[in-house]
Amino acid sequence: MRVVKQFLAVVAVAFAGGQGAAAVQENAWLTLVVGAVTAVVAVVVYGWVVRRTERREVTEIARHGAVARTGRGVLIGIGMFAVVIGNIAFLGGYQVHGVGSVTGAIGLLGFMAAAAVTEELIFRGVLFRILEERAGTMISLLVTGVVFGVMHLFNPGASLWGAIAIAIEAGFMLAACYAATRNLWVPIGLHFGWNFAAGGIFSAVVSGNGQPDGLLDATTSGPAVLTGGDFGPEASLYAVVAGAVLTLVFLWLARRRGTIVPRRRRPAGATVLP
C-alpha cells in the first residue's frame, strides 16, 4: 500500500508540473520557474509521504550534503554525454554549425530539472527501493530498469531498440548509482546532467522528443547504430557501452561499500498463504 501512496503522490506532482510547463513553454523563464518549483515540490511531497507511510527519517533525500552530491552527479552525467557525443563527432556523425539558443537552453534547464527529479523519485526512490527490500538489489535493478526502458516506448520517435538502450544505459545505471551511494541526489544530478547536456548544450534529440534548441546549433547524421537516429544519441551504441560501464563501476562500489542488498529467502518449510 505504501508504494501506491508514494508513487501516486510523486506522479501527481509530475503531472501538475508537466501541465504547467506545457502551458508556459513559449516563455523560457516561466518554464525554468515552473520546472524548478515542480522539482522542489516533488522532493517535499516525497519526503512527507515516506515519513507518514514508513515512520522513518528520509535519509535518501537528507539536506546535508545535497548540493555537493547533486553537483557530483551533474558532472558525471555531463561528462558521460560529452564522451558519447565526442565519439559520434569523431566519425563525422555530429556537426556544430554555430551558436544556438540561450533562451532555449534556459527553458530546457527547468524542464530537465523537473523530469530528472520526478523520475528519480518514482523509479529509484519508490519502485527500486521498495522492491529491493524484498527481492534484493540485482533483481530490483533488472526489473525497474526494464520498466524504465518500457516507459520510453511512449515517447515520440520511440523504438524498441531505443527502449532497450534506455533500460541498459539509464535504468540499470541509475539504479546502480543509487545502490552505491544510498542517496537520491547523485542519481538526480546524473540524470539531469545527461539530459541537459544532450538537449540544453549539444542540441541533440533526447529520447525521441525532437530536435531541441540548445546552446549549440548542431545536427547529427550517419548510421543510426552510431548516432541513435531519430531517437537521439541515447540509442547509440556509444551510449549503451558508456552506461553499461558506469553500471559495473557503481555495482563494484556498492559491493565494496557493502550496500548490495541480498534477496530475502523464505525459511525452509515456510507455507505461502493464498
* pLDDT tens-digit map of 207-245: 878 888 899 999 999 898 999 998 999 999 999 999 999
For residue 271 the three cell numbers come to: 507455507
Query: Nearest Cα to 127, choosing from 81, 187, 74?
Result: 187
Instruction: In whole angstroms, give the CA distance from residue 116 to residue 133.
Output: 24
Instruction: In whole angstroms, give the CA distance from residue 19 to residue 7.
Output: 18
Residue 44 has pLDDT above 90, yes or no: yes
Rounded (10°) angle between helices 28-54 and 102-120? 10
Instruction: In whole angstroms, give the CA distance from residue 189 to residue 195.
Output: 10
Residue 114 has pLDDT above 90, yes or no: yes
Residue that has been written with the C-alpha cell 530490483 in this structure: 140
Q: What is the pLDDT of residues 27-41, one digit of tens each?
A: 899 999 999 999 999
How far does the chain reach from its first CA to its final CA, in angstroms? 18
For residue 47 the three cell numbers come to: 519526503
Q: What band does 19 get if pLDDT is binned at 50, 70 and 90?
A: confident
